[in-house]
Chains A and B, each alone.
Chain A
Amino acid sequence: MQLDEIVAAVRAAHESHSPLRLRAAGSKDFYGGLLAGEVLDLSGHWGIVAYEPTELYVTAKCGTPLSEIEAELAEEGQMLAFEPPHFAGATLGGAIAAGLSGPRRQQAGAVRDFVLGIKLVDGTGQVLDFGGQVMKNVAGYDVSRFIAGSLGTLGVIAEATLKVLPRPVAETTLEFACDEAEAVRRLNEWGGQPLPVSASFWFEGRLWLRLSGAEAAVAAACRKLGGKVSPGAAAWWQAVREQTHAAYAGPTLWRLALPSTTPPLALDGLRAIEWGGGLRWYVTEAEPAVVRAAATAAGGHAVLYRAPESLRCLEGAFAPLSPALLALHRRLKKAFDPRGILNPGRLYAEF
Chain B
Amino acid sequence: MNPPEPSFATDRAKLLRRLQLILPAHCLLSAEEDLRPYECDGLTAYRELPLAVCLPETEGQVIDVLRNCHQMGVPVVARGAGTGLSGGAMPHAEGVVLSLARFNKILRVDRAARLAVVQPGVRNLAVSEAAAPFGLYYAPDPSSQIACTLGGNVAENSGGVHCLKYGLTVHNVLRLRVVSIEGEVFEIGGEGPDAPGYDLLALLIGSEGMLGVVTEVTVKLVPKPELAQVVMASFADVAQAGDAVAAIIAAGIILAGLEMMDKAATAAVEPFVKAGYDLKAAAILLCESDGTPEEVAEEIARVTAVLTEAGAGEVRVSRTEAERLRFWAGRKAAFPAVGRITPDYYCMDGTIPRKRLAEMLSAIAEMEHKYGLRCANVFHAGDGNLHPLIMYDAAKPGEWRWAEAFGAEILELSVALGGSITGEHGVGIEKINQMCVQFSTPELDAFRRVKAAFDENGLLNPGKAVPSLHRCAEYGRMHVHQGDLKFPELERF
Query: Are A324 and B186 in contact (CB-based, < 8 A)?
Result: yes
Query: Are A329 and B355 in contact (CB-based, < 8 A)?
Result: no
Q: In the complex, A282→B380 CA distance in Å?
A: 45
Knowing A136-B163, A136-B424 touch, does A259 contact B353 (C-beta < 8 A)? no
Knowing A142-B202, A143-B450, A146-B199 touch, does A137 contact B112 (C-beta < 8 A)? no
- B114 CB → nearest A CB, Å: 6
- A115 CB → nearest B CB, Å: 9
Selected contact of B184 from candidates A166, A300, A321, A324, CB within 8 Å: A324
Nearest to A320 among chain B residues (CB) is B196
Query: Are A134 and B252 in contact (CB-based, < 8 A)?
Result: no
Q: Is A194 an interface residue (CB 8 A)?
A: yes
Query: Are A214 and B113 in contact (CB-based, < 8 A)?
Result: no
- A128 CB → nearest B CB, Å: 5
Q: In the complex, A324→B180 CA distance in Å?
A: 10
Q: In the complex, A17→B79 CA distance in Å?
A: 44
- B28 CB → nearest A CB, Å: 28
Q: Is B416 an interface residue (CB 8 A)?
A: no
Within 8 A of A (CB), among B366-425: 380, 383-385, 418-425
Kindly state the interface size class of chain B when it binds its partner: 35 or more
Q: Is B342 an interface residue (CB 8 A)?
A: no
- B383 CB → nearest A CB, Å: 4
Within 8 A of A (CB), among B142-201: 156-157, 159, 163-164, 167-168, 170-171, 180, 184-186, 188, 190-200
> Which chain B positions have C-beta within 8 A of A154?
198
Q: Is B250 an interface residue (CB 8 A)?
A: yes
Query: Are A332 and B450 in contact (CB-based, < 8 A)?
Result: yes
> Which chain B positions have C-beta within 8 A of A188?
112-114
Knowing A105-B193, A217-B298 touch, does A194 contact B443 (C-beta < 8 A)? no
> Which chain A positions have C-beta within 8 A of B453?
328, 331-332, 334-335
Q: Is A53 an interface residue (CB 8 A)?
A: yes
Q: Is A54 an interface residue (CB 8 A)?
A: yes
Selected contact of B252 from candidates A133, A169, A324, A335, CB within 8 Å: A169
Query: Are A128 and B442 in contact (CB-based, < 8 A)?
Result: yes
> Which chain A positions have C-beta within 8 A of B111?
192
Query: Are B298 and A216 in contact (CB-based, < 8 A)?
Result: yes
Query: Are A136 and B196 in contact (CB-based, < 8 A)?
Result: no
Q: In the complex, A34→B231 CA distance in Å?
A: 55
Query: Are A193 and B418 in contact (CB-based, < 8 A)?
Result: no
Q: In the complex, A127→B156 CA distance in Å?
A: 26
Q: In the complex, A245→B230 CA distance in Å?
A: 43
In this complex, the member of A76, A77, A191, A216 whose beta carbon has the largest number of chain B beta carbons within 10 angstroms is A216
Digit string of A326-347 for contact with B (CB within 8 Å is 1, else 0)? 0011011011100000000001
Query: Are B226 and A194 in contact (CB-based, < 8 A)?
Result: yes
Selected contact of A220 from candidates B180, B194, B292, B384, CB within 8 Å: B292
In this complex, the member of B193, B223, B431 whose beta carbon has the largest number of chain A beta carbons within 10 angstroms is B193
Selected contact of B190 from candidates A138, A299, A347, CB within 8 Å: A299
Q: Is A271 an interface residue (CB 8 A)?
A: no
Nearest to A318 among chain B residues (CB) is B196
Selected contact of A138 from candidates B199, B250, B426, B446, CB within 8 Å: B426
Query: Are A134 and B196 in contact (CB-based, < 8 A)?
Result: no
Digit string of B243-257 for contact with A (CB within 8 Å is 1, else 0)? 000110110111000
Digit string of A73-84 for contact with B (CB within 8 Å is 1, else 0)? 000111000000
In this complex, the member of A141, A145, A192 whose beta carbon has the largest number of chain B beta carbons within 10 angstroms is A141
Q: In the complex, A109→B249 CA distance in Å?
A: 19
Nearest to A275 among chain B residues (CB) is B193
- Once A and B bind, how many residue pairs between them come within 8 Å at the CB atom? 259
Query: Are B427 and A165 in contact (CB-based, < 8 A)?
Result: no
Q: In the complex, A311→B180 CA distance in Å?
A: 36
Selected contact of A166 from candidates B200, B253, B418, CB within 8 Å: B253
Within 8 A of B (CB), among A263-283: 275, 278-279
Q: Is B24 an interface residue (CB 8 A)?
A: no
Nearest to B380 among chain A residues (CB) is A136
- A210 CB → nearest B CB, Å: 16
Q: Is B36 an interface residue (CB 8 A)?
A: no
Q: Is A67 an interface residue (CB 8 A)?
A: no
Selected contact of A109 from candidates B167, B205, B452, CB within 8 Å: B167
> Which chain A positions have C-beta within 8 A of B352?
134
Query: Are B443 and A192 in contact (CB-based, < 8 A)?
Result: no
Selected contact of B353 from candidates A134, A143, A348, CB within 8 Å: A134
Selected contact of B197 from candidates A112, A141, A165, A321, CB within 8 Å: A321
Q: In the complex, A117→B426 CA distance in Å?
A: 18
Q: Is B439 an interface residue (CB 8 A)?
A: yes
Q: Is A167 an interface residue (CB 8 A)?
A: yes
Q: Is B465 an interface residue (CB 8 A)?
A: yes
Selected contact of B171 from candidates A113, A122, A258, A335, CB within 8 Å: A113
Selected contact of A142 from candidates B167, B170, B249, CB within 8 Å: B170
Selected contact of A336 from candidates B205, B351, B435, B446, CB within 8 Å: B446
Nearest to B136 among chain A residues (CB) is A192
- B400 CB → nearest A CB, Å: 25
Selected contact of B249 from candidates A56, A143, A146, A148, CB within 8 Å: A56
Query: Are A136 and B351 in contact (CB-based, < 8 A)?
Result: yes
Query: Are B206 and A138 in contact (CB-based, < 8 A)?
Result: yes
Q: In the complex, A217→B292 CA distance in Å?
A: 6
- 23 A-B pairs with C-beta separation under 8 A: A126-B442, A129-B440, A130-B443, A130-B446, A134-B384, A134-B420, A135-B164, A136-B380, A138-B157, A138-B427, A142-B157, A146-B203, A188-B113, A192-B223, A194-B223, A194-B224, A256-B192, A257-B195, A258-B191, A324-B184, A328-B186, A336-B446, A347-B198
Report the 8 A-B pairs with minimum CB-CB distance, sorted nearest first.
A216-B294, A166-B252, A300-B192, A145-B202, A217-B295, A335-B449, A331-B453, A136-B423
Other than A324-B186, A328-B453, give 4 A-B pairs with Cβ distance below 8 A: A192-B114, A216-B294, A318-B196, A332-B198
